């Protein structure tokens, strides 16, 4: 951990396999210091924006295009 302006910051860098939002959040929680993670993962007041962002992320679809135009 490195402390900058009184805040702890992780020195770790690694690739994450993103399967879905809950698995990404669980992996990020291992890397990001507690205070920073709480700030990033939480929402303010009624958490409407957090809900909308989660909904939008869950509606993204990857469409395989292997062997098209064959």
- Confirm if 9 and 33 have CB atoms less than 8 A apart: yes
- Give residue-wise pLDDT tens across range 13-69: 777 677 777 888 888 888 888 888 888 888 778 888 888 888 888 888 777 777 777
CA distances from 6 to 10, 11, 49 (A): 13, 15, 28
pLDDT at position 27: 85
- Confirm if 24 and 32 have CB atoms less than 8 A apart: no
- Confirm if 31 and 12 have CB atoms less than 8 A apart: yes
Count of Cβ atoms closer than 10 Å to residue 65 Cβ? 7
Domain locations in the chain as residue ranges: 2-43
What predicted TM-score, i.e. pTM, was given to this entire model? 0.50
3-state secondary structure 16-38: CCCCCHHHHHHHHHHHCCHHHHH
């Amino acid at each position: 951990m490195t402390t900058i302006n009184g805040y702890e910051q992780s020195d770790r860098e690694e690739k994450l396999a993103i399967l879905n939002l809950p698995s990404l959040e669980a992996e990020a929680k291992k890397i990001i210091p507690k205070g920073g993670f709480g700030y990033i993962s939480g929402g303010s007041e009624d958490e409407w924006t957090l809900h909308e962002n989660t909904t939008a992320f869950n509606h993204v679809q990857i469409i395989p295009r292997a062997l098209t135009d064959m």
